[in-house]
Chain A
Amino acid sequence: MVFIFGVNFPEANLVKRSLETFYGIGPKVSQHIMARFHIHPTAKVSSLVNTQILNINAELSNMKIETDLRRQVQDNIKRLRSMGTYRGRRHAMGLPVRGQRTRTQIQTARKLNREERKG
C-alpha cells in the first residue's frame, strides 16, 4: 500500500488511475502531474520512489481539489441562489440549468443539481 495525499492505494494500481480518484483531477491534470515528475503513463504505484511520492503530495496540496473544490462549487451555486437567478433556482430544483429540454433525459441534472452539490 502506498500513501498518496492521505489515501492508501494498493501497489498494483496505476499511478494515473490513483491520481484520478481525487475530485478535480482528470486525465489532463494527471498527465501534467506525471510528466512534471517523470512518471511514465503505465507506471504502477509500487514503482514510485519516495521523492516522487513526496513531490506528488506537495503538488496536490497546492492544488484546489477534493473538499476545497467541492466547497467552491457549492459557494458558486449558493451565490446564484442568493441573487435569485434562474440558474440558482434550477440548481435548487434539481433541473437542467442551461436550457436543456426536460421532457426526457435529465438524469444527470436530477442526480447532481442541488444547492449543496456533492459531486
Chain B
Amino acid sequence: MSSSLCVRRLSLAPSDVSAHTSMATRSLLAYSCNASFSTSSAQLAQNLQKKSKAALPPQRGTKNSVTLKRKTPARDVGKRPAPGERKALRKRIVLSNINAFEVPGLRDLHTTNMHADSVKGRVMGLPGTVVDSLRAVEAFKTTQGWNLFRRPAILMRRESAQIAEFIQEVEAAQGKKTIRRIIIGDRASGKSTLVLQALTMAFLKEWVVINLPDAKEIIIGHTEYAPMPGSNRTQYTQNVYTANLLSQIAKANTAVLSKLQLTTKPDLPITVPPNATLVKLAELGAATPEYSWPIFRALWDELTQPNRPPIIFAIDGLGHIMRDSAYLSTNFKPIHAHDLTIVRHFIDHLSGAAALPNGGIVLAATTGSNNPSSPALDFSIQVAEARAKGMNSLPTWNPYKSADQRSLDSLKNVEMLRLNGLSKEEARTIMEYYAASGMLRRTVDNNFVSDQWTLSGGGNIGELERGTVKLRI
C-alpha cells in the first residue's frame, strides 16, 4: 500500500502539478503528508539552491573572486584583560545572593550558643565580622555554594558539634591540651566546610587563626623559594608565600593581635619598634618578603609565650604535602614537601613533634576532588582507622610500593575525624533552609527528604546541595 503511494507521489512532482491545475486540488493531501515525513528534504533543498547559485559564472562587470586581493585576516583588537584580572575572576568569592529570601528566624552563631544543645543539627548564620575574617584567611572556596543564599550560614552537624567540643576541651584544659586531627571523607562530604566551621568557632572564641588555604599552592612551584642559610638538611623558605600568609594573619586576627604586644626581643635582620603589637610585626613581615620567614618565626615565638590565646592551625588538601614538591634542588632532585619551611612547621605540629604551649587545635583536611596520589597518607588513614576501631591486626605496608618514610613517620600518631553523610534529620533541616531561602521550590516532606538523602549517597552534603538546589530541572 505504502509503496504504491510513493510511486504516485513521485509522478506528482511540482512541475506536474502546475501543469495540470485541476490535479492540484486533489493532490493536496498527498503533498502535505510528504512534507511531514522529515525535515531533511527541506534542508537538502536549501543546499541545492546554494550550490546552483555558486556554480553560476560571475556577472559581467563585477570583480571576480580570483582577481580580488586576499585581505589580511582582521586582527582581534578587543581589550585584553589586565594582569591578574582573570585570576581575580576565577578566585572571586560571592557570599550573597540578593534573589534568595532572607530566612526568617535564622540565628547567628555566637560564643554563648556554640556549645548549646539547641544549635545541634540547626542551620546557623555567620556573624559579619567573622565572615570578613574568614574571607581574609581564604576559608571560603569557589566550589562551595555560598553564592546561592542571602548570607553565609552553616549546618551544625554532628561533626561540627564535635569540633565545638574540642574547643571547649582545649579551653577547659587551660593551655595544656593540643588536639590534632585529620579530616577525611568522601568527595563533597564537607571537609573544607568543616575546617571553615572550626575556624569560625575559633574566631568567635578569639583564638589566633592561622590557615593554609590550599596545600597545593605551596608545593606546585609557583612562588619564589630559596635555601635557608644554616639549615643542616637544606630547608627552603618561600618568601612571597610567607609574606602573603602574614598579611592574611594580620588582617584576619586584627582584633586579637592588636591587644598583644612584643614581650621578647626577636633577633631580626630589621629593626622592630619596641612594644610593637603583633599585628604590626605581621604587617612588617608582609611588607618585607625577604625577611618574612624570620618574622613568621618571631611571631610564632611570641604567640607561644605564656598567657597568649590558643592557636588553631589548619590546612586544606593534606595529600599535596605528603609527597615531593615541584621545586628542584641545586642538584636537580625534587625537594620533598617537608623540606619547605612552612610545611615543615605545620607537619611538626600535626605530628606532635612540636607542641602548642597555650593549647589549640591542628586540623588538616584531605581533598576529594583534587586528590594527589599519596600512598603514605592513604596507608596512614587505614592504620589510624583500624586502630580507632580497636582491631588486633593493623594493615601492613605493601613492600612492593615505594615508601615515603618521612610522610609515614609524620602521620604515625595522628587521629582521624571521618565525615560521614548527614543523618536524615540533618538533611531535612538543611533542605528546609534551602526551601526557606526560596532556592528549593518543593514541599519538604518525608518522602522528598528520603529520596534526596538516598540519591546523595546517604546524605553526602555536597551531592544533596547539587541535587536539590543547583540542579533544578
Which residue numbers of A lie inside 8 Å of B, CB to CB? 12, 31-32, 34-36, 38, 40-43, 47
Instruction: Tell me, rounded to whole Å, the shortest Cβ–Cβ distance linking A17 to chain B.
Output: 16
Closest 7 CB pairs of A and B: A35-B328, A40-B221, A35-B332, A42-B222, A38-B226, A41-B221, A36-B330
Bound CA span A47–B225, Å: 11
Partner of A38, one of B83, B222, B225: B225
Q: Using a CB-CB cutoff of 8 Å, which residues 329-371 of chain B contact chain A?
A: 329-330, 332
A40 touches B332 (CB 8 A): no
Assess whether B130 is interfacial by the CB under 8 Å rule: no
- Inter-chain contacts of B224 with A (CB < 8 A): 40, 43, 47
Least distance between A42 CB and chain B CB atoms (Å):
5
Least Cβ–Cβ distance between B288 and chain A, in angstroms: 14
- For residue A81, give the distance in angstroms from its CB to the closest CB of chain B: 38
Which residues from B are CB-within-8-Å of A31?
A: 328, 332
Minimum Cβ distance to chain B for residue A43 (Å): 7
CA distance A55 to B261 in the complex (A): 42
Which B residues are in CB contact (< 8 Å) with A12? 83
Q: How far is the CA of A47 from the CA of B222 in the complex (A)?
A: 12
CB distance from B250 to the nearest CB of A (A): 23
Give chain B nearest CB distance to A83 CB in angstroms: 38
Q: List 27 A-B contacts (CB under 8 A).
A: A12-B83, A31-B328, A31-B332, A32-B332, A34-B328, A35-B328, A35-B329, A35-B330, A35-B332, A36-B330, A38-B225, A38-B226, A38-B227, A38-B236, A38-B330, A40-B221, A40-B222, A40-B223, A40-B224, A40-B225, A40-B327, A41-B221, A41-B326, A42-B221, A42-B222, A43-B224, A47-B224
Q: Which of B221-251 contact A (CB under 8 A)?
A: 221-227, 236
B398 to chain A, nearest CB (A): 32
List 9 other contacts, CB 8 Å, given A38-B226, A42-B222, A47-B224: A31-B328, A34-B328, A35-B328, A40-B222, A40-B223, A40-B224, A40-B327, A41-B326, A42-B221
Smallest CB gap from B333: residue in A: A35
Residues of A contacting B223 in the complex (Cβ-Cβ under 8 angstroms) = 40
- Chain B residues whose CB sits within 8 angstroms of the CB of A32 once the complex forms: 332
Smallest Cβ distance from B165 to chain A, in angstroms?
Answer: 42
**Interchain nearest-CB distance for B233 vs A (Å):** 16
Q: Nearest residue in B to A34 (C-beta to C-beta)? A: B328
In the complex formed, the residue of B with least CB distance to A48 is: B224
- The answer for the CA separation of A34 and B223 in the assembled complex, in Å, is 13
User: Which A residues touch B222, using CB under 8 A?
Assistant: 40, 42
Within the assembled complex, what's the spacing in Å between the Cα atoms of A41 and B327?
A: 8
Interchain CA distance A34-B221 in the complex, whole Å = 12
In the complex, A35 Cα to B227 Cα: how many Å? 11
Residues on A with C-beta less than 8 A from B83 are 12
Nearest opposing residue in chain B for A49, CB measure:
B290
* A38, B223: Cα distance in complex, Å: 11
Q: For residue A12, which residue of chain B has the nearest CB?
A: B83
Q: CA separation between A15 and B91, bound complex, in Å?
A: 26
Contacts of B236 in A (CB 8 A): 38
Specify the chain A residue showing the minimal Cβ separation from B223: A40
